[in-house]
Amino acid sequence: MKRISLTRYLVEQQRLEGHIPSQLRLLLEVVARACKRISQSVNKGALGDVMGSAQSENVQGEVQKKLDIIANEVLIEANEWGGHLAAMASEEMEGIYVVPNRYPQGEYLLLFDPLDGSSNIDVNVSIGTIFSVLLKPEGTGVSENDFLQPGTQQVAAGYCVYGPQTTLVLTVGDGVAMFTLDREQGSFVLTQENVTIPEDTKEFAINMSNMRHWDAPVKRYVDECLAGREGPRGKDFNMRWIASMVADIHRILTRGGVFMYPWDKREPDRPGKLRLMYEANPMSWLVEQAGGAATNGRQRIMTIHPTQLHERVSVFMGSKHEVERVTSYHHEA
Ligand code: AHM
Ligand code: MG
């Protein structure tokens, strides 16, 4: 079998398809290298000093795990000196991180959730890194405002899932490709191209413990799934909830399904739990590039104009016909 490394894939995309300017290629290679380092830390587990709480809180008011902080540092250190970035933003940092003066500044902006699925770190369940790349608008200097672009403006997006295998999943707007980490060689190898999500599915993912807090359209959709063959859908559904968005979306990219984290009455003033800029947008683009759909119940997620770096959003994404259905229930309500 011909082995295509991530580097070769990116070079060929650049050469043949013209999708990837060289600075963006460098950026993606650096992110991939950082993910390899994070993967090593994840793998060490209790043998490294990486488990448990860091006894600190992030801007979201969530207790940080040691690995949240390690992953954040790895991504910053790897990316700050290469000259490809102007600034970074992260789930774990309140403000943006501008590339220090001692390094050249590039034209890209990188956003990430360094370690998604933090509640799964200590229990040895799949977790991941999610990232999104934007171009800095013209002009001197860089500010938080430069980041506030809708997801349609992304130039690259992806995630790395640290599970039984470490898999990097990437789009630059020309479909979705998956790369598996070969630990002996230390390189990501292309293992699937043109990833496609089936339009129909019998599998849904939602945290059912929040059911009593949901809005009527979400309740209607899930009730109909639960009614199975005897209900209006005329078929039995299965349910999965890993509580790592990366792992849930990876399953959906692999075999279909619908992922939902809706607004609920627990925090009525917040539009949802998940973050628009570095969780929902990159995942939405991957899902759409694979033929799926992603909405907040009313609108395509990627057309939302963000007003804050850490903005939250309701999320319905995955198999196209199911996302269209649950979105139509919101419009009818
Ligand atoms: P995190 O980025 O702090 O790990 O939080 C995001 C995670 C998602 O990966 C996952 O889908 C969701 O939170 C699970 O939430 P819950 O524990 O409410 O089911
Ligand atoms: Mg997250």
pLDDT single digits (tens) 85-127? 999 999 999 999 999 999 999 999 999 999 999 999 989 999 9
pLDDT tier, 139 (very low <50, low <70, confident <90, very high otherwise): confident
Q: 244: Cβ below 6 Å to ligand 1?
A: yes
CA dist., res. 239 & res. 225, Å (int): 9
Say if residue 20 is in the same domain as residue 156: yes
Asked, for residue 197, whether it belongs to a domain, the answer is no
CA–CA distances in Å: residue 296 to residues 219, 251, 275, 293, 300: 15, 20, 12, 10, 7
Asked, for residue 174, whether it belongs to a domain, the answer is yes
Say if residue 294 is in the same domain as residue 155: no
For 204-252, the pLDDT digits (tens) are: 999 999 999 999 999 999 999 999 999 999 999 999 999 999 999 999 9
Against a cut of 0.85, is the pTM above it?
yes
Asked, for residue 82, whether it belongs to a domain, the answer is yes
Say if residue 265 is in the same domain as residue 285: yes
For the record, the structure tokens of 43 come out as: 């793998």
For 265-290, the pLDDT digits (tens) are: 999 999 999 999 999 999 999 999 99
Could you tell me if 32 and 6 are in contact, meaning their C-beta atoms sit under 8 angstroms apart? yes
Q: Which residues contact 46 (CB under 8 A, 6 or more apart)?
A: none
Asked, for residue 106, whether it belongs to a domain, the answer is yes
Instruction: State the Cα torsion 267-272-278-282 to the nearest 10°.
Output: 170
Say if residue 273 is in the same domain as residue 161: no
Q: Please tell me what DSSP assigns to residue 269.
A: T
Say if residue 119 is in the same domain as residue 208: no
Q: 125: Cβ below 6 Å to ligand 1?
A: no
CATH number at residue 174: 3.30.540.10
For 163-199, the pLDDT digits (tens) are: 999 999 999 999 999 999 999 999 999 999 999 999 9
CA dist., res. 52 & res. 59, Å (int): 19
Q: 243: Cβ below 6 Å to ligand 1?
A: yes
- Which of 157, 192, 227 corresponds to the end of one domain? 192
What is the per-residue pLDDT for 204? 98
Say if residue 157 is in the same domain as residue 12: yes
Say if residue 157 is in the same domain as residue 24: yes
9-18, 115-124, 294-303: least confident range: 9-18
CA dist., res. 48 & res. 67, Å (int): 11
Say if residue 38 is in the same domain as residue 111: yes
Say if residue 65 is in the same domain as residue 110: yes
Say if residue 188 is in the same domain as residue 207: no
- Which of 147, 165, 192 corresponds to the end of one domain? 192
Say if residue 211 is in the same domain as residue 185: no
> What are the helix (H) ranges across the chain?
6-12, 22-44, 66-79, 144-147, 216-227, 245-255, 281-289, 320-332
The residue segments making up the domain with residue 109 are 6-192
Asked, for residue 128, whether it belongs to a domain, the answer is yes
CATH number at residue 249: 3.40.190.80
Asked, for residue 290, whether it belongs to a domain, the answer is yes
Asked, for residue 54, whether it belongs to a domain, the answer is yes
Say if residue 247 is in the same domain as residue 182: no
Q: 245: Cβ below 6 Å to ligand 1?
A: yes
CA dist., res. 189 & res. 6, Å (int): 6
Asked, for residue 198, whether it belongs to a domain, the answer is no
- Which of 192, 213, 242 corresponds to the end of one domain? 192
Could you tell me if 124 and 77 are in contact, meaning their C-beta atoms sit under 8 angstroms apart? no
CA dist., res. 324 & res. 293, Å (int): 8
Query: What total of structural domains would you count in the chain?
Result: 2
Task: Kindly report the protein residue whose alpha carbon is nearest to atom 5 of ligand 1.
Answer: 117
What is the per-residue pLDDT for 134? 98
Task: Kindly report the protein residue whose alpha carbon is nearest to atom 6 of ligand 1.
Answer: 117
